[in-house]
Structure 1
Amino acid sequence: MRKRIILTSSFFLTLLIMNSCSNKVLHAHSFQDSTLQLEERVDNLVSLMTIEEKISQMVNKSPAIPRLGIPAYNWWNETLHGVARTPYHVTSYPQAIGMAAGWNPSAMQTMADYCATEGRAIYNDSQKKGNTGIYLGLTYWSPNINIFRDPRWGRGQETYGEDPFLTGSLGKAFVRGIEGDNPNYLKASACAKHYAVHSGPEWNRSTFNAEVSDYDLWNTYLPAFKDLIVDAKVSGVMCAYNAFDGQPCCGNDKLMTSILREKWNFKGYVTSDCGGINHFWKTHKTHPNKESAAAAAVLHGTDCECSGDPAYNALSKALADGLLTETEINTSVKRLFTIRFRLGMFDPLSKVPFSNIDLSALEAKEHKAHALKMAQESMVLLKNESNTLPINKNIKKIAIVGPNAADESVLLSNYYGFPSELVSVLEGVKSKFKGEIIYEQGVNIADNEVFKSQYKPSQFNYKGQQGFNGEYFKNTKWEGVPAVVKLDKKIDFQWGDGELVAEGVIANSISMRWTSEYIPDSSGEVSFALQGDDRCKLFINGEKKIETDLKTGYYTFNAIKGQKYKVVIEHLQYTDNAEIKFDAGKIEKLSPEQIAERVKDADVIVFVGGISAKLEGEAMPVSVEGFKGGDRTNIELPAVQTAVLKALNATGKPVVFINMSGGAMGFEWEAENIPAIIQAWYPGQEGGEAIADVLFGDYNPAGRLPVTFYKNVSQLPDFEDYSMQNRTYRYFKGEPLYPFGFGLSYTTFEYNELKISNASNSDEIIIEAKVTNTGDRNGDEVVQLYVTNKNNDNNNSIRDLKGFERIALKAGESKKVVFKINRDNVSAVDNNGDSKPLNGIYEFSIGGGQPTEKSRLINKNVMLQKEFY
């Protein structure tokens, strides 16, 4: 006798037929049988879908197909340096460029593994609750492995720097950490982006056409992608916004068809960058309409479109017009479901090894410890004249000055999630130093109008109650009846996307309005400050006074005691994090000399400056001198900060300059005159503690620059010129401020016994040297191997990084470091992407940096030449 049972779960709807004789479980459809081969299951599922259902699955927000038990899924998620934009509290590591400065693939892999663990915890909890929204899935659109070819690019902070070998090495480690090593399941899915030839400018990325030589394409822009796609077998790729050789990247013959799918045999899925397919016909104007753009993208292998207004909605018309076939649609849909099957989304929980990871994994102790370790490793000591550092903890007084000293948001950079706790530089110093600390912000990043909070809750009331009347709308237009109305004591909120902001309202496509009466208790000048990450507006008595996006806006007026001022604040959030803060106080304007006067009695002055991700980043509406659309127009430290540093230096007290930025800075005056400089990047949640550890010598810095620090923009070609001529350490013929690979230590290292040999019966070259810590402190050293082609051929790079290893050495300890490299990896790549035979004379250098004149005095590189036949 047979009995039919229908079961429903959040994963699938399945019909089980129980055989009473054999007790064997049979499934209504093959795709539901987890014992079958992956390809068979995917083929079966796609064969059951209608063409409309197939097309519906080709966008990031893929709807459910109830009749087949297919749940909704949103492909869009980020974990650039920690799980991003989630409604859960997560661990935040240093920004990607900072992690690159650690030159530590092992640490990168551990970080990515921890991110996947936290991501699984979020996914598992969300599934239990039936949440399938954005930033809750397991397909992470990271890492960004574009080449940081120009320091003006605001998104360069998201990359691993300017060198293809370093980028590929770190990128492969990231992929292996995210995706794991389980033979049957991906822990999570990584995505190599933005493919390819993409690195600014931000302001014209939807119209820009990049043109490069075949040599630059194969020797600079593609090697890291090949590393991740061919070697690390990354499961996803994102194609870029811009065009390449006249075709949009997501519909490019050479990039997408000839190289990615044919030469590299990539079997994973490709997603567009968000809104990129509509750029085909709207901005690039290479296609006449939406359906032709959609068809071209699919024909070139773009399987998933990320967009709020998908061009792929026109695929039905494209099919009807004969622009593509259902077979080509099937190819893309199969690739997408292959990823979902590999993530275990259609298998019993008992079979998926990551299904038991719960929320206790979020911000785990070992994750926080690793965030601190990576922040410590990212610190690059650029200058330390007269042993200014480390600071003696027994001195009496330290002054902490500068716009980034107490700012916690600067630690997180962009593409971030919210940790429960952040440690600013000021807090980090306080935890280490028991003497007197003078704190003086002094200036903002680009001006000297410093806001001083004097907020008094009693001055803001709504109908006799202290606070603001908050109206929360489930739309982005403040329309209709608000879903929730409640009294908020103060406006100071941070919400991850999808986080509950009020009962029944989550942070996704919402708007808010707060209303209160401001009644000052004294007459005089008052300033209101409004900061938000999406559009924010401040109205006083019905007149708009502030409209800001991403940065803080100010309005100053003369208030009259007892007079009532109606204050209305509006804020909206589309997707991503939602942040808003309103404050009241005074604007203080001090001259550099006045700032110096306030801190001149300190034994040491620490200036924490630089820039922030509020000014540099992705396509940002920023109108500040020196910045444009998220990029920079110059690379100098903002003039107001240099002026303050000059005044501080004039006090005669030792000055330490801590620079925070996402890329290289051209601080020529500072490099010449300030005795100690630390490049701290955007160091994540533990950044303040890591910086304090370096300041006081509790950690010996060993970070190395992953980019060249130029003196000024006059040393650079035009930003829109994608030729590598005179760019990066490999081709730059000038004198940099600080070279790629540079970084100091509190100890010293010596290199000797360099040997080069050929491995028997292989094309492998073995290079080895002995490294000795000749100082009196334990410390790490980043051993770097560079190869220079000494022949007069088409390889025009000055030198190329071909190996590196971060090692720890105790004072007086020696260690032999061995690099094994394939001969094909030493030579240049020809115009077809193939390695040329290694012939002629090559110079091999091992040291703590490049074998340049400036570096050689510190790194003491050892070099040998070898001829190959």
Structure 2
Amino acid sequence: MKRFLLVLSFLFALVFNDFLAAQYPFQNPDLSSEERARDLISRLTPEEKATLMCDISEPIPRLGIKKFNWWSEGLHGIRYGYNVSVFPQSIGMAASFDDQLVHQVFDAVSDEFRAKYHEAQRTGKENSRFMSLSVWTPNINIFRDPRWGRGQETYGEDPYLTTRIGVAVVNGLQGPAGSKYKKLLACAKHFAVHSGPEWSRHTLNLNNVSQRDLWETYLPAFKALVQQADVREVMCAYQRLDDEPCCGSTRLLQKILRNDWGFKYLVVSDCGAIADFHTNHKVSSDDVHAAAKAVLSGTDVECGWGYAYNKLPQAVDKGLINEKEIDERLARVLAARFDLGEMDNDSLVPWSKIPMSVIDSKEHRELALTMARESMTLLQNKNNILPLSKSVKKIAVIGPNADDESMLLGNYNGFPSGITTILEGVKTKLPADKIFYDKGCDLIEDMITQSLFGNCSFDGKAGMKATYWNNTAFKGDAVAQEQMVSPIQLTTAGQTQFSRGVNLKNFSAKYETVYRAGESEEIVIRLEFGGKCDVIVNNDTLFSKEVWQLAPIRLPYKVEKGKDYRIEVKFSAIYEGMDASLKLNIGREMPVNYGELINKLKGIDVVILVGGISPNLEGEEMPVEFHGFKGGDRTNIELPESQRKCLQALKKAGKKIVFVNCSGSAIALMPEIETCDAILQAWYGGQSGGQAVADVLFGDYNPSGKLPVTFYKNSERLGDFEDYSMKGRTYRFMNDALFPFGYGLSYTTFKIGEAKVNKTSIKAGEALLLTIPVTNTGKRDGAEVVQVYVRKVNDNEGPLKTLRGFMRVQIPAGKTQQVAIELTPSSFEFYDASLRKMAIAPGEYEFFYGTSSDIKDLKSGRIPILQ
């Protein structure tokens, strides 16, 4: 037996040595990623090269190359991940002004990504879109206009704050510098000058952006992430800049990004942006020419559905591009994969050892709560009504967002194992018999929908007939049928199926009914869905849309008494990685009677109204067409009329009102500062957002959040949405805000003393150190964010002031802390038109320091910069 084992061992060694000898150089982990990439490219056909430059990179079995997905999202947790940690929406994290905590958050997010990825590898599951190691985060566009629905994904309106938070995100995702393997690949998006509107992003041409705005506002964060954080991916944007699509702009992708900044990694396109070249921008004649233009301009990976890059071999045949040029771009793509270690054995990759137990771990849940608490921004607190007493007789919690789980999750989100709504958070502070709850009002409409499902029937049976197919085309034999007798609310999120026998993904459903009109009136068909949906009434198509994130739809329809109306709703779950969801109701709208609500509140003095808006109304390219909302953006920034009227009714009834505003963007709250006693800006707080709100309202946490955006007084203060000039926008170019950038109250008070500087003058290239005494003059421990702004004196075209430093400090009651903030040489850089670049010009500079950007909250000093 021993001899047999020796022989077997010898034979195994021979086979193993032969295998090693037959290894291709690209399979050798001791070579550099660039060497491995060049060797692999030499073994590929033109068609294989093309597929490796698509975001779904198909496998090449003959070379042992696995399928790879470039498109994952980690905006504030794993998008479409289940039982994962969901942190506050990005704009809320920015309100913390705590880049160290943000780094911890994204270190946790990258842990969860790695654990899920390797578990899938071990169990033989294919990693689909959104579950890979390339993560298209962070969004570092400037939130220049509060109407932009995707502004919630950013870190606000200021280039410096965006830079600080963005660098922390990238470092948390990619792991420590100098590691052999990157933890993940982060992506700075969308390059460049991109911030709405959503409805015109595929056709918009920005041809009047000043060089000053370009270099001082839109580019600094991208430059910093490239040069300071070594970000491995940059995503180019949809629109054109000076007539060139951003994904086909040699100026952006070659001159600025690679030549000027030294970026040597890969550029990915926004999804469908290459197709836009010929379908929308009309700068290319077809997809073959679009593919060649994009690759030559510097876009290495195409995200899309019908890939133009698959036509690259045809582009070579036409002489539009040569194979060597393709190889140069593909080398960056493959080197990135080798940098992740995804082609190497897990035993060589330290990140593969991260256990599944980190996902939704106690530590990550605590981190989500800490981040949510730090995001809470107190805007108003008349007569110190907050914190609320826990000995109150009874309190009312009302409002459309009070008990809404999905609102807390924001957009680009995953799904946690548990969510604490704001109502549930309040229930942790008071006994149930002390809390009265009522929705109170609708989120956006001053109407309620009375269901008319009772007037619906099909084939003699009440309600709607539902038929299901396990494909998205309604073809073949149905797999299930059932009768729906009440308004439909179906989702695969947390469920196994729409109906027994129906797939979780890639299915279709048809809902049929006949509505008999009891009155001549206007009824409404209400939908909320994610997928593809058609509504057909009496064989006429009333609505047909594809929606890749949930959106509410209102379809009015006039009916005549006694007549029958055949209604058919066809739904398809068409998107990979997305949960299917459908809400459907048929009804009539009736005005809200706020008198009934006031009657319910008799004997209750304090009312917490939880309102604002919702990620179902603001977001990316959404088919939303309600008053004040369009295509994912807003057409005005006022609080919806339904909530405004409800607050006014409460005020008239003599109630003390605590308004909790949930939104991913600024709301104009001019009437509300008079109507409400306290206003708490709660953003979209993630899985623990409700607990964080309650902790602040009842004084178990002292709020310290600061606004990362300006809250304007009204919509009239805003200019043309498509005008990208910064004139009159943000705190840097206007000083008449309702609540200014950097503003936020505490339950204690702070006094800012006179700053000391380490030099009375500096030379260009030298730093300046400010030491600022900060005293907590109140009776509670608290955190303050000390902010430093800079302005070049006599610069009449430049910003009024611009943030160049900040530090978040925790100070015990009655104590003073010396806060040292260094203004680095770049703090004094502004655009120099004569040099056509950012530069430090000799002259006098003014610096401001304090607790917000409001000039009333700031002290100042001056420093000359010598030649």
TM-score by length of 2: 0.89
For 2:200, what is the secondary structure of its paired residue? coil
Q: How does 1:680-829 map to 2 (within 5 A)?
A: 680-732=682-734, 734-758=735-759, 763-790=766-793, 792-793=794-795, 796-829=798-831
Give the residue type in structure 2 aligned to 1:621.
P
| 1:50-100 superposed Cα distances (whole Å, 9 cap, x missing partner) | 1111011111111110100111112111111111023x3211111111111
Which is further off, 184-193 or 829-838? Answer: 829-838
Q: Does residue 1:84 correspond to 2:100, yes or no?
A: no
Equivalent pair of 2:142/2:217 in contact (CA under 8 Å)? yes
Distance 1:375 1:455, change over 3 A: farther
Identify the range of structure 1 (674-683 vs 236-245) with the bigger mean alpha-carbon deviation.
Answer: 674-683
**Deviations 1:213-265 (Å, cap 9, x if unpaired)?**
11111100000001111110101011000000110000112211110111111
Q: Secondary structure at the match of 1:471?
A: strand
Q: 2:222 — aligned with what?
A: 225
Distance in 1 between residues matched to 2:347 and 2:668, nearest whole Å? 55
Distance 2:263 2:500 in 1: 46
Deviation per CA, 1:614-654: give whole Å up to 9, x if none: 11111111111111111111111112211111111112221
Q: Which runs of structure 2 are paired with 1:272-311 in the superposition (5 Å)?
A: 272-311=269-308
Is 1:369 paired with 2:366? yes
Match of 1:249 in 2: 246
Equivalent position amino acid for 1:123 in 2: Y
Note closer, same or farther for the CA distance 1:714–1:540 as it changes in structure 2 (3 Å cut): closer
CA distance, structure 1, for counterparts of residue 851 and residue 482 of structure 2: 59
State the alpha-carbon separation in 1 of the partners of residues 457 and 813 from structure 2: 61
Residue 489 (structure 2) pairs with residue 471 (structure 1): no
Helix, strand or coil for the counterpart of 2:110?
Answer: helix
Alignment counterpart, residue 104 of structure 2, candidates 103, 110, 113:
110
1:208 equivalent in alignment to 2:204 = yes
For residue 198 of structure 1, what is the aligned residue in structure 2? 194
Query: Judging changes above 3 Å, is the alpha-carbon distance between structure 1 residues 718 and 594 closer, same or farther for their aligned structure 2 residues?
Result: same
Query: Is 1:145 matched up with 2:140?
Result: yes
**Alignment partner of 1:841: what SS?**
strand
Q: How does 1:10-49 map to 2 (within 5 A)?
A: 25-49=20-44
Q: Is the 8 A contact 1:17 1:26 kept in 2?
A: no
Q: Which of 638, 641, 651 in structure 1 is aligned with 2:640?
A: 638
Q: Is the 8 A contact 2:135 2:184 kept in 1?
A: yes
State the distance in 1 between where 2:16 and 2:722 align.
72
Which sections of structure 1, spanning at least 5 residues, go unmatched? 1-15, 520-524
CA distance in 2, matches of 1:484, 1:130: 28
Question: 2:657 — aligned with what?
Answer: 655
- C-alpha displacement of 1:552: 5.5
Report the AA paired with residue 274 of structure 2. I
Provide Cα deviations, 1:451-470, integer angstroms capped at 9, x if missing partner: 589999xx999999999866
Distance 1:229 1:463, change over 3 A: farther
Aligned residue for 1:179? Answer: 174
SS of the residue corresponding to residue 808 of structure 1 reads: strand
- 1:668-683 paired onto structure 2 within 5 Å: 668-683=670-685
Q: Distance in 1 between matches of 2:846 and 2:402?
A: 44
Residue 420 (structure 1) aligns with = 417
**Alignment partner, residue 853 of structure 2:** 850
Shift of the 20–667 alpha-carbon distance from structure 1 to 2, 3 Å rule, reads: closer
CA distance in 1, matches of 2:791, 2:612: 34
Q: 1:536 to 1:24 in 2, by over 3 A?
A: closer
* Offset from partner CA, 1:426-454 (integer Å, 9 cap, x none): 11112212252222212212213335899
Task: Name 2:477's counterpart in structure 1.
Answer: 481
Aligned-partner Cα distance in 2 for 1:553–1:339 = 45
> 2:509 is paired with a residue of what secondary structure?
strand
- 1:133-163 C-alpha deviation (Å, 9 max, x unpaired): 2112111111110000011111111110000
Q: Which amino acid aligns with 2:656?
A: P
Evaluate the alpha carbon distance shift between residue 484 and residue 428 of structure 1 in structure 2; reply closer, same or farther with a 3 A threshold: same
Quote how far apart the aligned CAs of 1:535 are.
3.5
SS in 1 for 2:805: strand
1:429-578 to 2 correspondences below 5 Å: 429-434=426-431, 435-450=433-448, 471-475=468-472, 477-482=473-478, 492-495=489-492, 507-513=504-510, 530-536=527-533, 550-551=551-552, 570-575=570-575, 576-578=578-580
8 Å contact from structure 1 (residues 135, 497) kept in 2: no
Q: Percent identity?
A: 42
1:701 shift after superposition: 0.7
CA 1:110 to 1:594, structure 2 compared with 1: closer, same or farther past 3 Å? same
The amino acid of 2:118's aligned partner reads: N
Q: Distance in 1 between matches of 2:633 and 2:523?
A: 33
Q: Work out whether residues 423 and 687 of structure 1, in 8 Å CA contact, stay in contact via their aligned partners in 2.
A: yes
Query: How many angstroms does 1:750 deviate by?
Result: 1.1
Question: What secondary structure, in the 3-state scheme, does the structure 2 residue paired with 1:551 have?
Answer: strand
Instruction: Name the CA distance, whole Å, in 2 between partners of 1:581 and 1:150.
Output: 31
C-alpha RMSD of matched pairs (Å): 3.5
Asked if structure 2 preserves the Cα contact closer than 8 Å seen for 1:250 and 1:272, the reply is yes
Counterpart residue number, 2:335: 338
Q: SS at the partner of 1:443?
A: coil
C-alpha separation between the residues in 1 aligned to 2:24 and 2:570?
51
Deviation at 1:482, TM superposition (A): 4.5
The total of aligned residue pairs comes to 837
Identify if the C-alpha distance between structure 1 residues 149 and 133 changes in structure 2 by more than 3 Å, giving closer, same or farther: same
Q: Could you report, residue by residue, the CA deviation over 1:189-214 in whole angstroms, capped at 9, with x for unpaired residues?
A: 11000000011111111110113111
Going from structure 1 to structure 2, the CA distance change for 1:54 and 1:498 (only over 3 Å counts) comes to: farther
Quick one: structure 1 residues 36 and 367, their matched pair in 2 at CA, closer, same or farther if it must change by over 3 Å? same
Between the aligned partners of 2:425 and 2:836, the Cα distance in structure 1 is 48
Distance 2:756 2:451 in 1: 63
Q: Please, which moves more after superposition, 608-617 or 760-769?
A: 760-769
CA contact under 8 A between 1:529 and 1:554: conserved in structure 2? Answer: yes
Match of residue 843 from structure 2:
840
Structure 1 residues 351, 505: closer, same or farther in 2, change over 3 A? farther
How many angstroms does 1:292 deviate by? Answer: 1.5
Higher deviation after alignment, 817-826 or 410-419: 817-826
Deviates more, 1:641-650 or 1:586-595: 586-595
Name 1:867's counterpart in structure 2.
864
Q: Quick one: which amino acid aligns to residue 670 of structure 2?
A: E
Post-superposition shift, 1:174?
0.2
